[in-house]
Amino acid sequence: MSDPSGPAIEFVNVHYRIDGKHSLISNLNLSVLRGEALMLLGRSGSGKTTTLKLINRLLAPSEGEVRVDGRSTTEWDVIRLRRHIGYSIQEAGLFPHYTVQENVALVPKLEGWEPARISSRVQEVLQLVGLPFHQFSSRYPDQLSGGQRQRVGLARALAADPPILLMDEPFGALDPMTRAELQHEFMELQKRLRKTVVFVTHDVAEALMLGNRIALMDSGALKGIFTGAEFFRSSDTAVKPYIDAFQAMQQTLKAGD
Amino acid sequence: MPLFAFIAIDKRQLLTLTGEHLWLVGISMFLAVALGVPMGILLSRRRGLRAVVLGANNIVQTIPSLALFGLLLPVPWLGARADRLAILALTLYALLPVVRNTYAGIAGVDPPVREAAVGMGLTPWQLLWHVELPLASNVIVAGIRTATVITVGVATIAAAIGAGGLGEFIFRGLAMVDNSVILAGAVPAALLALGADLLLGLIQRTLVRTHH
Ligand SMILES: Nc1ncnc2c1ncn2[C@@H]1O[C@H](COP(=O)(O)OP(=O)(O)O)[C@@H](O)[C@H]1O
Ligand SMILES: [Mg+2]
User: CB–CB of A2/A67 below 8 Å?
Assistant: no
User: CB–CB of B106/B36 below 8 Å?
Assistant: no
Chains A, B: CB contacts within 8 A come to 65
Please tell me the least confidently modeled range out of A126-135, A183-192, B163-172.
B163-172
- Quote the pLDDT of residue B2: 52
| pLDDT tens readout for residues B111-123 | 999 999 999 999 9
Indicate whether A257 belongs to any domain.
yes
Provide residues with CB under 6 Å of ligand 1: A 18, 24, 42, 44-50
Nearest to B28 by CA among B76, B81, B95, B75: B95
- Quote the pLDDT of residue B77: 79
Which position has the higher pLDDT, B159 or A11? A11
| pLDDT at B22 > cutoff 70 | yes
Which position has the higher pLDDT, A163 or B52? A163
Indicate whether A155 belongs to any domain.
no
Which position has the higher pLDDT, A20 or B90? B90
In Å, what is the CA distance from A170 to each residue of A74, B123, B206?
Answer: 27, 24, 33
- Round to whole Å and give the CA distance between B50 and B54: 6
Indicate whether A175 belongs to any domain.
no
**Alpha-carbon dihedral of residues B131, B135, B141, B143, nearest 10 degrees?**
-100
Identify the residue whose C-alpha is closest to ligand 1 atom 8.
A50
> Residue B211's pLDDT band (boundaries 50, 70, 90)?
low
> Residue B5's pLDDT band (boundaries 50, 70, 90)?
low
| pLDDT at A184 > cutoff 70 | yes
Domain, as residue range, for A255 = 1-77+201-257
Burial of A108 (0-12, 13-18, 19+ CB in 10 A): buried
Phi-psi region for residue A57, left (φ > 0), alpha (ψ -120 to 50) or beta? left
Domain count, chain A: 1
User: CB–CB of B185/B166 below 8 Å?
Assistant: yes
Neighbours of A70 (CB within 10 A): 14
| Sign of torsion over alpha carbons A87, A93, A94, A95 | negative
Bridge partners (DSSP) of residue A15 are A63
Nearest to B98 by CA among B156, B56, B148: B148
| pLDDT tens readout for residues B135-172 | 999 999 999 999 999 999 999 988 888 888 888 889 98
Binding-site residues on chain B for chain A (CB distance < 8 A): 110, 112-113, 115-123, 126, 130-131, 134-135, 210-212
pTM of the model: 0.87
- Which site among B110, B114, B115, B120 would you substitute to test the A interface, given the most A Cβ atoms closer than 10 Å to its Cβ? B120
Indicate whether A245 belongs to any domain.
yes
Indicate whether A31 belongs to any domain.
yes
User: CB–CB of A4/A72 below 8 Å?
Assistant: no
User: What CATH number does residue A10 fall under?
Assistant: 3.40.50.300
Indicate whether A86 belongs to any domain.
no
DSSP tag of A18: E
- Round to whole Å and give the CA distance between A29 and A217: 12
The chain-wide mean pLDDT, for chain B, equals 88
Indicate whether A126 belongs to any domain.
no
The chain-wide mean pLDDT, for chain A, equals 92
Question: Which atom, in ligand 1's list, is nearest to the CA of A25?
Answer: 14
In Å, what is the CA distance from A1 to each residue of A5, A65, A153, A182, B64?
Answer: 12, 15, 31, 36, 65
> Residue B4's pLDDT band (boundaries 50, 70, 90)?
low
Bridge partners (DSSP) of residue A14 are A28
DSSP tag of A38: E
With a pLDDT cut of 90, the percent of chain B lying above it is 55
SS3 content of chain B, % helix, strand, coil (to 5): 90, 0, 10
- Quote the pLDDT of residue A2: 56
- Quote the pLDDT of residue A241: 86
Indicate whether A240 belongs to any domain.
yes
| pLDDT at A103 > cutoff 90 | yes
Contact assignment for A79 to B123 by CB distance below 8 Å: yes
Tell me the HSE value of B58 on the side-chain side, using a 13 A CA sphere.
Answer: 7
Per-domain boundaries in chain B:
3-210
- Round to whole Å and give the CA distance between A45 and B70: 60
Rg (CA), chain B: 20
Please tell me the least confidently modeled range out of A155-159, A197-201, A233-237, B137-141.
A233-237
- Quote the pLDDT of residue B8: 47
DSSP tag of B155: G
User: What is the third-level CATH fold of B3-210?
Assistant: MetI-like fold (1.10.3720)
Q: Residue range A22-33: average pLDDT? A: 95
